[in-house]
């Protein structure tokens, strides 16, 4: 049985994000989470981390902290950065018909899918701004049918 808490900090660059995600995937593979759900969690984290790299640190880079843990049957990931504040109203709640909509496939979009994927696959999103920090908490309900003992 793998550890129940994951914690890693890295720089907000695409390559460092990839390496961070690979380390996270190794951790997640050690948890009793169904592979279909693991895919969803990895997609959401990839999009949230890409958003930080592209939008929180648009002209420079900076640190990202990723922490994840099992809490009962829930899986919770927390991302922190010291970049630009997430614009008010950008954080959509999960579920259809909220926040900005997905791009129309017939327009052959090359971007704009990120928040749509996050909203489609996460069960809860909670953003807070503390002084110079963004904190995004992402909740996946019932991801861990038989939680490991702490």
Partner 1 sequence: MGLRAQHSNGFCLLQVEDSRIDAAGAIAFKEAVRQASEGGQDDVLLDLGAVDFIDSSGLGAVVAVMKALGPDRRLHLAGLRPAVAKVFRLTRMDSVFTIHATVADALKDAA
Least separation in angstroms between residue 58's CB and partner 1 is 14
Least separation in angstroms between residue 14's CB and partner 1 is 4
Closer to partner 1 by CB, 37 or 80: give it.
Answer: 37
**Which residues does 80 contact at the CB level (< 8 Å), separation at least 6?**
64, 65, 67, 133, 134, 135, 136
Least separation in angstroms between residue 20's CB and partner 1 is 11
Longest distance between any two alpha carbons in the chain, whole Å: 49
Least separation in angstroms between residue 55's CB and partner 1 is 12
Site residues, partner 1 (CB under 8 A): 13-15, 17-18, 21, 35-36, 39-40, 42-43, 46-47, 50, 53-54, 102-103, 105-106, 108-114, 116-117, 120-121
Closest CA to 142 of 41, 19, 45, 53: 41
Closer to partner 1 by CB, 4 or 119: give it.
Answer: 119
User: Beta-carbon neighbour count of residue 42 at 10 Å?
Assistant: 16
Closer to partner 1 by CB, 18 or 129: give it.
Answer: 18
Alpha helix segments (H runs only) across the chain: 14-29, 35-51, 114-121
**Which residues does 107 contact at the CB level (< 8 Å), separation at least 6?**
none
Closer to partner 1 by CB, 15 or 88: give it.
Answer: 15
């Amino acid at each position: 049985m793998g550890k129940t808490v994951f914690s890693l900090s890295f720089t907000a660059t695409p390559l460092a994000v990839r390496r961070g995600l690979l380390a996270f995937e190794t951790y997640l593979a050690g948890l009793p989470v169904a592979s279909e759900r693991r895919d969803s969690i990895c997609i959401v984290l990839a999009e949230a981390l890409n958003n930080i790299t592209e939008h929180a640190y648009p002209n420079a880079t900076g640190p990202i902290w990723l922490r994840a843990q099992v809490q009962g049957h829930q899986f919770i990931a927390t991302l922190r950065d010291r970049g630009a504040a997430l614009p008010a109203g950008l954080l959509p709640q999960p579920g259809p018909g909220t926040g900005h909509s997905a791009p129309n496939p017939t327009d052959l979009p090359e971007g704009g899918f990120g928040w749509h994927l996050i909203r489609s696959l996460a069960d809860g999103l909670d953003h807070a701004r503390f002084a110079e920090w963004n904190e995004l908490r992402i909740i996946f309900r019932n991801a861990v049918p038989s939680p490991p003992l702490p």
